Amino acid sequence: MEELAYDYSAENFDEEPDFELIGGEKFIMAAAAPFVNHISTISRLIMIFGNYIDSKGISAIVVADAEVYLSAEDHFRPDLSVVCNLNFVKSGKKVYGVPDLVVEVLSESTMKNDIGPKKAAYEKNGVKEYWIIDQWSKRIEVYHLIDCKYELDDVYKADSEDEKVSKEIKVSIFDDLVVDVQSVFKWWFSGKD
């Protein structure tokens, strides 16, 4: 994929934004730190994707909470991105281009955007695979970009007794990476507040 033609140097993106821009509209980001389970889920996925990329010698990077500039109207901080075009990573801290895979872990403050306008922005800008993780029910919805539209691959769930529920995700952007859904939620805190 080619680099985006938009000239980001004309904008003041050097300061850490406290908002996400979705379809040209500003959305203030939550100031509160994410819960332990949210962080644990992302950490597990970083290990899974990172170990796979390292073991295969693939030219790709896994980034968490990095600023991603898809277009002049869409820039935000996905919970996790897998970027196969390393030319998109500028100055080691921002991604100026379309990641191949994006993961968002739902939280009360971001859920509406993650399943609505952000999903639409990822689709419009060409993110090949999009995961929405529901941290409360331990389920993962996986969408694949087919003919410029997201199609639901499947809904995967950890701890399901139903044999019809898929428990392994075949990652479409890599030839042979299969993610066990239970391993994503392996270190979850199960205590009460």
| Domain assignment present for 122 | yes
pLDDT tens track for 31-53 = 555 577 888 899 999 999 999 99
- Spatial neighbors of 90 by CB under 8 A, at least 6 apart, are 96
- Which residue is it, tokens 């990641």? 99
CA distances from 123 to 23, 38, 101 (A): 12, 24, 11
Cα 119 to Cα 111: distance, rounded to the nearest angstrom: 11
Q: How many domains does the chain have?
A: 1
| Domain assignment present for 10 | no
Q: pTM for the whole thing?
A: 0.83
Domain coverage including residue 77: 38-184
| Domain assignment present for 88 | yes
Cα 128 to Cα 109: distance, rounded to the nearest angstrom: 25
pLDDT tens track for 122-167 = 999 999 999 999 988 889 999 999 999 999 999 999 877 777 788 8
Cα 40 to Cα 46: distance, rounded to the nearest angstrom: 10
Q: What is the dihedral of CA 171, 1, 60, 106, to 10 degrees?
A: -50
